[in-house]
Amino acid sequence: MLPIDLRGKRAFVAGVSDDGGFGFSIAKSLAEAGASVCLGSWPPALGIFQKLLERGKMDASMALSDGRRLEFEKIYPLDAAYDSMTDVPADIRENKRYKDQGDFTIQGVVEQFKKDFGDKPLDIVVHSLANGPEVKNELLDTSRSGYLTAISVSAYSNVSFVRNFGPLMREGGSFLSLTYMAGERVIPGYGGGMSTAKAALEADTRTLSYEAGRRFGIRINTISAGPWASRAASAIGFIDMMIEYCAKNSPLPRKMEPTDVGNAAAFLASPMAAAITGSVVYVDNGYHAMGMAVSPEALNTPMG
């Protein structure tokens, strides 16, 4: 028996505001393996998320396989668009969804972690967040502002995570982000600079694996997940078609589940993956390996 054992490890999963996305599934899998889990949640969504938890609306999702309940050690307000409060525009500081949240920047969360848990409190950091305000626009029709926002929040924030959280990591620490096939190949409709941001995220994963490996002794990987109808993905508008298309054109014609990504993340965060860094790990039923669609006849074959 070779179990994934994360007992005694602490994880920070950033980008969780509901129970429908990969971030939540990763947090749950890490907890299943024994890790304690803290979350970073976008301030405008944090209040709703906390009310759902308090009112038991997520009880079914919070149940672990061994009968335990998923508990979050801390939930921090986090807007990864900002490294420090000096970067935050006045209208955001004064916005009712932000003004009572304290320091919600990346550096603010780092400082709060040290206050709550000491100087070296972390073993696992998961970057599960992205934002492309013009994602429905073709790249040719994307404004400079929309393009740069997509890059800033979806890719550069991971660089900032590694730089700022790196010194808090214990020996054997692991960083993980989430990417998508659009960073490598054309996915019509995935616009607004988001494909560029995913390509940057993957390139940065390789460079950061070297730089952070030498500076902090930590590992950096990213998971390229197949499509899933999370709240964020559904905003693109064609996610159901992508899910069906990928299922029918993948080597494994099965429905992909968020737990597939969560379990892969738990493995990558564990000592069993101690020699894996700088990698794009595909969790997509093998879709990335295909060079063309299957035949029309096969498209009508029921999924197994």
**Which residues are designated catalytic?**
180, 190
Classify burial at 172, counting beta carbons within 10 Å of its beta carbon; exposed 0-12, middle 13-18, buried 19 or more: middle
